[in-house]
Amino acid sequence: MNEQTTTEKQDGATTQPHSHPFQAEVAELLRLMVHAVYAETEVFLRELISNASDACDKLRYEAIGQPGLLEHGGALAIRIAIDADSGTLTISDTGIGMGRQELIDDLGTVARSGTRAFIDRLAEAKDAAGLIGQFGVGFYSAFMVADRIEVTSRRAGADEVWVWRSSGTDRFEVLSAPAEAAERVKRGTEIVLHLKPDAKRYLEANEIERIVRTYSDHILFPIEFLDPKAEPRQINAASALWQRPKSELKTEDYKEAYRTLTGGFDEPAMTLHYKAEGRQAYAVLLFAPSRAPFDLFDPTRKGHVKLYVRRVFITGDAQLLPSYLRFMRGVVDSEDLPLNISREMLQNNPQVAQMRKAITGRVLGELESLAANDADAFAKVWEAFGRVFKEGLYEDYERRDRLLALARFPSTKGEARSLKEYVADFKPNQTEIYYLVGEGLERLKANPKLEAARARGIEVLLLTDPIDAFWTAMPLGFDGKPLKSLSQGEVDFDLVPVIEEPAKAEEAAPAPADEASVVAAVKGALGDAVSDVRASQRLTESAACLVAGIGPDRELGRLLASQSRPPSGAGAKPILELNMRHALVQALRSAKTEAREDDVADLAALLLDEAYILDGEVPSDPAAFTARLNRLLVRGMATGR
Ligand SMILES: Nc1ncnc2c1ncn2[C@@H]1O[C@H](COP(=O)(O)OP(=O)(O)O)[C@@H](O)[C@H]1O
Ligand SMILES: [Mg+2]
């Protein structure tokens, strides 16, 4: 059999109907699994058990409408068997099973979303086990320990049984199962791993038990261990931990439940466990991880709260929390919802809506008490998920004040400031909360628009996440104090006393009449490149800066333009503000007085270009910019100044 040269087309058509190439990314992933040497390979078992458990969940859900599906194949359970003679480890389940096409698609040709990102990360990561957990690389992780795998599966209620097999190279086969295999697998899936020589420790009973206890203790279905030297026995707790009273549970129990339920390898930064009683009865067990998963910014913004109805799994994303809390993981188990509630019906169910509201409120309440009582833990949550959380400032109008109070921001005074702290530190006569949105903290800190605030000791929030440009675009306030951008409209710091004289106030402020003539000269020179020119309240050191007039803040305008979604009021030219005390502006004034029109034009254009550069942009015409700069430099050198 010449596997390398058989093309896919011939393959699918006639020559080898049972042989299939892995999808390209899957093949790449497999190469990483097969060849790499990972310290912690044991996660493969958790992945296979979690798949088996999912399969049992799925069958139980389908059986609500078709009880006949449960007739053959016994109770829902997971079994693990070891055989030292053949060097095999077998994991089987009596779940939903897979038909031929599912074997082909799910175990070979459909790559899970996030596979690409995972491959890229794995190449540079030390902590492969953690990555595998976070991505749910799932089934393929078994190739870390096996050089050959056979999957025999019977879809619940089906007559046919199929075998999938592969050695983790570029191809896999799917064939009709031989009679004895079909006899053995009455329902569900049996996975036989032919262990690699260096993975023989997975043939030891103790080792298997330890791994199951560590990662899979809280799987809801019994995991039975078929020990060749003893009676078969159940090796997991198989209890719905969330149903047990809080008082019986220890931190360690929660940590284990977190690992089993979420596949996380970190420790939960926050745990919320309670039972609601009253209008509706349901149990809630939710965790905030301490690390962000890689798919946090997946465009689908899917949640990770599983919905159960009386211990029966219904769906992995019932949208029981708003999208901006999608980092929360865990379980909600309802006593009241109908078991046959379809996933589609969940959207419009008033009971679900009421649960969503109540649970969201509890999660925010828990975050609030974490912020108040365990600042370190809260900081972890904020660092990992603050960027997602801030989407709520934009989306959740009703809870905006609560969300703003929870939010933390870097500022000119610290790394994670709350608005409460900010307001407590108001300067005399300060009435607004100032912020600046832009790319990169270091660049923002150097932004000239901060100068006047700095001279007065006024704190400025420095917002660098893309989402910041959006939520700040709405009229917001905290504690009755409006939030105000330093790169939009006019700022008036006059009432706040200056605490340190600006270091480089090189010249005295000009008389108002001079000010007007400089402004008029620059306006004349720049024409419609700007919408207006005015003397600045913001600057003490730099010569000029740009601010937005009407319409969106400059940063939002830029973001939207880059996504080719020009905002309303876009195309509105920025306003150029001049620091009247700056030497360059004073030079322009002299040029004006002495009627050196070319110099006026060059200096005005240079001030505008500099302002663009300070905002992280490039001058609109770099060649003209350079020519102008050179002209002015040469002239300056020649006069020996
Ligand atoms: N024991 C099993 N029973 C039924 N289907 C399975 C089983 N194991 C794997 N599958 C199918 O293969 C798919 C891929 O599994 P996996 O790689 O672990 O990814 P995930 O569990 O994240 O979907 C599953 O989504 C499921 O459709
Ligand atoms: Mg899986």
Q: Is it the case that residue 258 has pLDDT exceeding 60? A: yes
Task: Choose the weakest-confidence range: 178-187, 225-234, 372-381, 490-499.
Answer: 490-499
Q: Is it the case that residue 236 has pLDDT exceeding 60? A: yes
Share of the chain above pLDDT 70, in %: 90
- Measured from the alpha carbon of residue 29, the closest ligand is 1
Q: Is it the case that residue 307 has pLDDT exceeding 90? A: yes
Q: How far is the CA of 439 from the centre of ligand 2 (A)?
A: 38
Q: How far is the CA of 132 from the centre of ligand 2 (A)?
A: 10
pLDDT tens-digit series, residues 455-470? 899 999 999 998 998 8
* DSSP-derived 3-state class of residue 331: strand
Q: Is it the case that residue 523 has pLDDT exceeding 70? A: yes
pLDDT tens-digit series, residues 128-186? 656 665 666 789 999 999 999 999 999 999 999 999 999 999 999 999 999 999 999 99
Q: Is it the case that residue 1 has pLDDT exceeding 50? A: no
For 107, residues 6+ apart whose C-beta sits below 8 A from its C-beta are: 98, 139, 151, 164, 172
CB 96 less than 6 A from any atom of ligand 1: yes
pLDDT of 264: 76
pLDDT of 53: 95
* DSSP-derived 3-state class of residue 158: coil
Q: How far is the CA of 168 from the centre of ligand 2 (A)?
A: 17
Q: Which residues pair with 409 in a beta bridge?
A: 417
pLDDT of 11: 45
Contact at 8 Å (CB) between 448 and 372? no
For the record, the structure tokens of 572 come out as 């509105």
Q: Look at ligand 1, atom 18, and give the residue with the nearest C-alpha.
A: 138
- Measured from the alpha carbon of residue 55, the closest ligand is 1
| 84, 89, 90, 91 alpha-carbon torsion, rounded to 10° | 140
Q: How far is the CA of 416 from the centre of ligand 1 (A)?
A: 41
pLDDT of 533: 93
Q: Look at ligand 1, atom 27, and give the residue with the nearest C-alpha.
A: 106
Q: How far apart are CA 268 and CA 483, in angstroms?
A: 33
Q: Look at ligand 1, atom 22, and give the residue with the nearest C-alpha.
A: 136
Contact at 8 Å (CB) between 232 and 224? yes
Q: How far is the CA of 49 from the centre of ligand 2 (A)?
A: 8
β-strands 329-334, 282-288: how paired?
antiparallel
Q: CA separation (Å) from 494 to 260, 428, 490, 503?
A: 59, 11, 12, 18
Q: How far apart are CA 331 and CA 242, in angstroms?
A: 8
Q: How far apart are CA 487 and CA 493, in angstroms?
A: 14
Q: Is it the case that residue 399 has pLDDT exceeding 80? A: yes
DSSP E strands, 256-360: 270-276, 282-288, 304-309, 312-315, 329-334
- Name the band, by pLDDT with cuts 50, 70 and 90, for residue 216: confident
Q: How far is the CA of 139 from the centre of ligand 1 (A)?
A: 7
Q: Is it the case that residue 2 has pLDDT exceeding 60? A: no
Q: Which residues pair with 148 in a beta bridge?
A: 194
- Measured from the alpha carbon of residue 107, the closest ligand is 1
Q: How far apart are CA 284 and CA 240, in angstroms?
A: 11
For the record, the structure tokens of 128 come out as 């492969």
pLDDT tens-digit series, residues 423-455? 999 999 999 999 999 888 988 898 888 988 988
**Which residue out of 25, 50, 54 has the highest number of ligand 1 atoms within 8 Å of its CB and is therefore the one to mutate?**
54
Q: Which residues pair with 483 in a beta bridge?
A: 433
- Measured from the alpha carbon of residue 141, the closest ligand is 1
- Count of CB atoms within 10 A of residue 168's CB? 22
CB 138 less than 6 A from any atom of ligand 1: yes
pLDDT tens-digit series, residues 472-495? 988 889 999 999 999 887 777 878
Tell me the one-letter amino acid at 243: Q
Read off the pLDDT of each residue in 222-239 and give the average, rounded to a whole number.
92
CB 107 less than 6 A from any atom of ligand 1: yes
Q: How far is the CA of 103 from the centre of ligand 1 (A)?
A: 9
Backbone angles phi, psi at 582, to 5 degrees: -70, 145
- Measured from the alpha carbon of residue 139, the closest ligand is 1
CB 98 less than 6 A from any atom of ligand 1: yes
pLDDT of 513: 67
Is residue 146 within a helix (H) or strand (E), and if so which, with residue range? strand 146-154
Task: Please choose, from the candidates 394, 575, 560, 558, the residue with its C-alpha nearest in 3D space to the C-alpha of residue 475.
Answer: 394
CB 95 less than 6 A from any atom of ligand 1: yes
Average pLDDT, the chain: 87
pLDDT of 404: 96
Tell me the one-letter amino acid at 39: A
CB 227 less than 6 A from any atom of ligand 1: no
Which one is predicted more confidently, 5 or 282? 282
Contact at 8 Å (CB) between 176 and 17? no
Contact at 8 Å (CB) between 217 and 235? no
pLDDT of 135: 63
pLDDT of 639: 63
* DSSP-derived 3-state class of residue 309: strand
CB 55 less than 6 A from any atom of ligand 1: yes
**Which residue out of 69, 106, 187 has the highest number of ligand 1 atoms within 8 Å of its CB and is therefore the one to mutate?**
106
Task: Choose the weakest-confidence range: 359-363, 373-377, 497-501, 610-614.
Answer: 497-501
Q: How far apart are CA 580 and CA 583, in angstroms?
A: 8
In eight-state DSSP terms, residue 165 is: E
For the record, the structure tokens of 6 come out as 């058989």
Q: How far apart are CA 545 and CA 557, in angstroms?
A: 16
pLDDT of 210: 92
Q: Is it the case that residue 548 has pLDDT exceeding 90? A: no
* DSSP-derived 3-state class of residue 635: helix
Tell me the one-letter amino acid at 52: A
pLDDT of 129: 57
CB 139 less than 6 A from any atom of ligand 1: yes
- Count of CB atoms within 10 A of residue 221's CB? 22
CB 133 less than 6 A from any atom of ligand 1: no
pLDDT of 190: 98
Task: Choose the weakest-confidence range: 61-75, 293-307, 404-418, 589-603.
Answer: 293-307
- The pTM of this model reads 0.77
* Residue reference for tokens 């801030």: 390
For 144, residues 6+ apart whose C-beta sits below 8 A from its C-beta are: 33, 34, 36, 38, 41, 44, 199
Task: Choose the weakest-confidence range: 332-341, 362-371, 416-425.
Answer: 332-341
CB 52 less than 6 A from any atom of ligand 1: yes
